[in-house]
Amino acid sequence: MTATDPALTALADSWVALSLLHGRIETHLERALQAGHDLSVREYSLLDVLSRQHDGDGGHLQMKQVADAVVLSQSATTRLVTRLEDRGLLSRYLCPTDRRGIYTDVSPAGLELLEAARPTNNRALREALDQAAQDPQLAHLVKAVEESRGPVAV
């Protein structure tokens, strides 16, 4: 295979289309969440991930797991947690069984904000996907996203 091989070119084109779809969705979500709730996409994602923790086995996430879930580095995730903690949306505490571990929980104010923002996020996601579906370059990717998890509730 060479750099001009049609298979490689098609693969690169597909990657560009996927990146374009992601960028369009993220931009649309960012605008909606910022305007309606003073939240960034990353802040919303972090609140959402942390709100799904539970007290059972494996219920609390370590910072690396949180970072992986929100697709950020550990240091960026820590800064994000600190910002949300400063806003009263999160709290941190030491793991009761391992004093080296620190857990992060969503505060009642954070849960309230997340629940208020969830319909905005879902609506903006639906709008972004509907707009992208009109682009022949992206329509097949939109279909794949929709079929991977079922319809998005608004």
Q: Is the pLDDT of residue 136 over 60?
A: yes
Mean pLDDT of the chain: 90
pLDDT, residue 10, reads 84
Boundaries of every domain in the chain: 6-149
Look up the CATH number of domain 6-149: 1.10.10.10
For 25-50, b/e burial (b = at least 16 CB within 10 A) is beebbbebbeeebebbbbbbbbbbbb
The model's pTM is 0.85
pLDDT interval class at 1 (50, 70, 90): low
pLDDT confidence bin for 96, thresholds 50/70/90: confident
* Lowest-confidence region among 44-58, 80-94, 104-118: 44-58
pLDDT-derived band at 151 (thresholds 50, 70, 90) equals low
Encode pLDDT of 2-54 as tens digits. Answer: 567 777 788 888 999 999 999 999 999 999 999 999 999 999 999 999 999 87
Mean pLDDT of 81-93: 94
